Copies of this chain bind each other. A is one copy, B any other.
Amino acid sequence: MPPTPRQRAREAAVDDIKRIARRQLAEGGAGALSLREIAKEMGLVSSAVYRYVPSRDALLTALISDAYDRLGATAEAADAELERDDLAGRWTALAGALRDWARAHPTDYTLVYGPPLPGYEAPPETYAPAQRWFEILIDVLRAGSDEPDPEDPVLCAQLAAVRDRRSPGAPLGGIAAGLAAWAQLHGLVALEIHGQTDFVLGSGAELFGHCVERQVRELGLRAGR
């Protein structure tokens, strides 16, 4: 059954609310999210938003959950365009998708990977979508690399736990190198969207590309065919 006009209007209103809310977050941080201001911008009286959103906190939760979802979807779309065995291409695409998405939506990136919002506890239902980008990364890593296993026994135990949960059979050295690369990608992206690479280099694109190339080489990821 198709949605009734009322349902469509309702969904459109909720989308409007979220759109304005995201803009508020982008412009003024979490403290700037204001239901009253949203109502005003929509030409509604302040209490009317409560027809669409139960509370300010619930709206924030929805926005965070959406952000996870969008990053995951972007990553999956980028990954799906490539041959399964083109590991180098897939890694490069995933890294690029992360950077592009973060630059296009810095606020959402900060919601997902940045400092946790004070007084806000992520509800359990956001855990699974939170990990989609990471899942694909681990999937690509499954090919392994020829890095030697780390010596630290504590680290090896931690890595073994990650491996057993996500990627049985992969060598520990590869997992370690993958996590190291993951942290590097995050560092590059975070520094760039916070303006630190601009300050040092003028543009973050080239250093990012360079690092991704090195990662592909170091992780032993091969192009398919």
A residues whose Cβ falls under 8 Å from a Cβ of B: 27-32, 106, 110, 113-119, 134, 150, 152, 154-155, 158-159, 161-162, 176, 179-180, 182-188, 190-191, 193-196, 200-203, 206-207, 209-211, 214
Copies in the complex: 2
18 residue pairs A–B, Cβ–Cβ below 8 Å = A27-B118, A28-B119, A29-B30, A29-B118, A114-B114, A114-B194, A115-B115, A116-B194, A154-B206, A155-B207, A158-B207, A176-B207, A176-B210, A180-B214, A183-B211, A186-B190, A186-B191, A187-B188
With contacts A183-B211, A186-B187 known, what are 14 further pairs, Cβ within 8 A? A27-B118, A29-B115, A31-B118, A106-B115, A113-B196, A155-B206, A158-B207, A159-B201, A162-B200, A179-B201, A180-B207, A182-B187, A183-B188, A187-B187
Interface majority SS (helix, strand, loop, mixed), chain A: helix
Chain B residues closer than 8 Å to A162, beta-carbon distance = 200-201
Q: How far, in angstroms, from A111 to B117 measured CA to CA in the complex? A: 14
Closest to A106 in B: B115
Q: How far is the CB of A211 from chain B (nearest CB, A)?
A: 5
Q: How far, in angstroms, from A222 to B189 measured CA to CA in the complex? A: 30
Q: How far is the CB of A172 from chain B (nearest CB, A)?
A: 11
Whether B115 pairs with A114 at a CB distance below 8 angstroms is yes
Chain B residues closer than 8 Å to A28, beta-carbon distance = 118-119
Chain B residues closer than 8 Å to A179, beta-carbon distance = 200-201, 207
Closest to A119 in B: B28
Q: How far, in angstroms, from A152 to B204 measured CA to CA in the complex? A: 13
Q: How far, in angstroms, from A9 to B119 measured CA to CA in the complex? A: 34
Q: How far is the CB of A110 from chain B (nearest CB, A)?
A: 5
What are the 5 closest A-B residue pairs judged by CB atoms, nearest first? A187-B187, A31-B31, A155-B206, A183-B187, A29-B118
